[in-house]
Chains A and B, each alone.
Chain A
Amino acid sequence: MVIDSGPSLRYGQALRSAIGKVTDKPVVQVLITHHHPDHALGNQAFADAPIAALPGTNAQLAKEGDGLTENMYRMVGDWMRGTQVRVPEQTLEPGVKRFGSHPLRLLAFTGHSGADLAVLDEKTGVLFTGDLVFYQRALTTPHSPGLLQWMEDLQQLQGLPWTLLVPGHGPVSQDRRPFEQMMDYLGWLDDLLRDSAANGLEMNEVIATPIPERFAAVKMSKYELIRSVSHLYPRYEQAAMARVEQ
């Protein structure tokens, strides 16, 4: 079983070949945690396996997939050769679903991308968080409904009976540190945007904010702050201003 197929046809094929070195068993199911290109554009490499995702993910891929793919071609060019969107043909409902001897608890959240699947293997305690958890790599916000929603999702996730955490980005963990870092970072970002809007800061001034020392190990934080300000700051600004027309 494969959770997330990667950013391209070529990556999907490499993933298959890596799996082939570990087991000679076939891939029987692919689950896609959310519609972002680095998770859902390797689907073509698994043409012989059923692919499933949350209904919201399939709708987003159908609507935005081509645009997201074009942007990947622009960024990495030939590495994307042959890659096209393949929208999962199956839709998932939250709840426990059995795959072989593994009862998987499928959980639907929204905080990162609007439709975020997390998967808890109840047999082994392994929790696949998708991009609800980034660890040692700055979180991304292009389709987030809001940082407070994301924090609520994480509260629920961390209460599950997991033993091993597999973040969407960053190393696997047996302890709570990825959750702690996420909550800390989300809280910092939310406070920064709210305080900045309340003080009438311009986007470029918010972007220039130094990243706190405690996030020094979080890669790409400067870059992602530029992006997150663009995605999220207008909502905070509107909340901080009043109607003044006459």
Chain B
Amino acid sequence: MTRVPLLLLALCLGAPAHALDPGPDPVPSVMWEFYRKQWIGDEPYRFDQRVKVVAPPFAEDARQVPLQVDARDVPGRVRRMLVWAELNPLPRIVDFAPGPDVLPWLAVRIRIEQATPLRAAVQTEDGVWHVGSTLIDAAGGGCTAPSVVRSQPGWEERLGQVLGGRYPREDFSRLRLSVAHPMDNGLMAGIPEFFIEHAELFDAAGRSLATLELWPAVSENPSLSFDLRRPGPVRLSLRDNNGNAFDAAIE
């Protein structure tokens, strides 16, 4: 009986990284392989419940679905976090690269076009992707519903306004931001893509703390939250695909 684990151990140690056994996919999926090939490629991965993808069981408002990814229980430093909604017409949500002073945790609100698996692939410094998954039910239409922002007169003047707050926790502090922007995804007739595509956090000395690439599966008036290991003022720099740049400072 003892020889089997030893053999397994030997195989694990001796095998190339890409031979890692991913284990069973915890959610029913028709698109996993398709997107894995695009974004993870042949790099080693495993389905990992320590990556917690948290969303309500159903989308009450498919245009503003709260999504939270928590990879704090994954051993090793997280260098990237890719998040997508498999059955969305535009599946990609964010590509988050937290630096050492930012926890591998992120909250954002997203659009859902129909019931779908939600995935977060978290890459640790050893190169392994840890994939967290959940399912969400939805009446749907969140990606193709008319913009609420654009129905409000004067929205252009509010473009780039940022609401923010900083909230102390026991051993870190939370940063919350809400940015006025329509995040047009190009699926509405006559309205081309217009969305914030890049965000970066800096400390008071101007050092980069984290970068976040966004796609328009992120809801209009994006709501973003980060957990920072250290106190102190930070600056958020944002850029949309039309070249508009916005800055916000939070104590």
Contacts and interface: CB of A to CB of B under 8 A. Distances in A.
Contacts of B247: 245-246
Interface of A: 71, 74, 199-200, 202-205, 207, 226-227, 229-231, 234, 237-238, 240-246
Contact of B58 (A226, A238, A240, A242): A226
B176 interface: yes
Interface of B: 54-58, 60-61, 64, 66-68, 107, 109, 139, 160-167, 174, 176-178, 223, 225, 246-250
A237 B167 CA distance: 13
A192 to B, nearest CB: 16
A227 B57 CA distance: 11
B68 A238 contact: no
Contact of A237 (B139, B178, B249, B250): B178
B220 to A, nearest CB: 12
Contacts of B68: 202, 204-205
Nearest to A244: B164
**At the interface, is chain A mostly helix, strand, loop or mixed?**
helix
B133 to A, nearest CB: 16
Contacts of A226: 56-58, 60
A245 B60 contact: no
Contacts of B174: 200
Contacts of B166: 200
A199 B56 CA distance: 20
Contacts of A240: 165
Contacts of A243: 161-164
B69 to A, nearest CB: 10
A229 B248 CA distance: 27
Contact of A204 (B54, B64, B165): B54
Nearest to A240: B165
A202 B107 contact: yes
A230 B249 contact: no
17 contacts: A74-B139, A199-B167, A200-B165, A200-B225, A202-B68, A202-B225, A203-B109, A204-B56, A207-B56, A229-B66, A237-B223, A242-B163, A242-B164, A242-B165, A243-B161, A244-B250, A245-B161
A241 B60 contact: no
B163 A241 contact: yes
Contact of A203 (B66, B246, B248): B66
A205 B67 CA distance: 10
A241 B139 contact: no
A98 B54 CA distance: 54
Given A202-B225, A207-B56, A226-B57, A245 B178 contact: no
Query: What 10 A-B pairs are tightest by C-beta distance, nearest first?
Result: A200-B167, A203-B66, A244-B164, A230-B60, A241-B163, A245-B162, A241-B165, A202-B107, A244-B248, A246-B247
Given A202-B66, A244-B163, 11 more contacts: A200-B165, A204-B56, A230-B56, A230-B66, A237-B223, A238-B178, A241-B164, A243-B162, A244-B164, A244-B248, A244-B250
B176 A200 contact: yes
B90 to A, nearest CB: 22
